[in-house]
Amino acid sequence: MHRVDRRIRAREVRVIDADGTLLGVLPTHQAQAKAQDAGLNLVEVNAKETPPVCKIMDYGKFKYENAKRERETKRTRIVQETKEVKFRPKTHDHDFDFKVAHARRFLEDGDKVRLLVQFRGREMVHPETGRDVLDRVCSAVADLASVNQMSQMEGNRMFMVLAPKAAVVAAAQARQKAKDAEFAARTAKGEADPSPQEASDSEAEPPENAPATAPPEDAEPAPLGFD
């Protein structure tokens, strides 16, 4: 939170003018008078310096631009979630490939993936089978992810956490930003105007309750279908 105008407590401050010019150290009341004469505010931008650094600016505009930047950052930031994909020690190849495809999609979206192997009964005697499954998954997604948490046992479950690589997260953020830009453009344009295809379809298809069009008077009667 910035101190503004009369809330600034220091007796003297280092002043930067509205155009970025360094005015040097001035008594606080003199700096406040300069800001007031310009129709602006004196804002303490660095209280840790001695004396504190203050800038002459339009504080309302400054707050608005900061809030706008924060909204843009939140809108384009991907909230990383942790998705879970379950396996069995003897997962068949088809199911294994299907589950790996899910894991890859989650990673490509920028999410972490928690791999879980569920043991039953005597399968607990051979935990190495679960590690083999996890190792196979790691190999299958090595281009997208790295191990975030090594394999561990919890009761009859073995799990491992994978995290997407930095380049994968950046690509996911870029795709999200492009989608947001497209949505904003469509919103600005308005969705009321139908596409050319929709327009032609609407012209070709009469309304459901439209009256049937009568045939011309000189039209020949339709055959009855008898030979």
R_g of the chain, CA atoms, integer Å? 34
For residue 118, the cross-strand partners are: 157
Question: 14 and 51 in contact (C-beta within 8 Å)?
Answer: yes
pLDDT confidence of residue 57 = 94
Residue type, 70: E
Nearest to 103 by CA among 133, 144, 151: 144
What domains, with CATH codes, occur in the chain?
5-74 (3.10.20.80), 82-167 (3.30.110.10)
Nearest to 151 by CA among 135, 166, 169: 135
Q: What is the mean pLDDT of residues 106-123?
A: 93
Coil vs helix vs strand at 16: strand
Question: What is the reported pTM?
Answer: 0.49
pLDDT above 70 (res 198): no
pLDDT confidence of residue 34 = 92
Q: Residue 198 — φ and ψ, nearest 5°?
A: -65, -40
Q: pLDDT class for 190, splitting at 50, 70, 90? A: low
DSSP run (H or E) holding 24: strand 22-27
- Tell me how far apart the alpha carbons of residues 108 and 165 are, in angstroms, rounded to a whole number: 9
Question: 43 and 62 in contact (C-beta within 8 Å)?
Answer: yes
Q: pLDDT class for 84, splitting at 50, 70, 90? A: very high
Nearest to 143 by CA among 94, 104, 109: 104
Nearest to 173 by CA among 55, 66, 73: 73
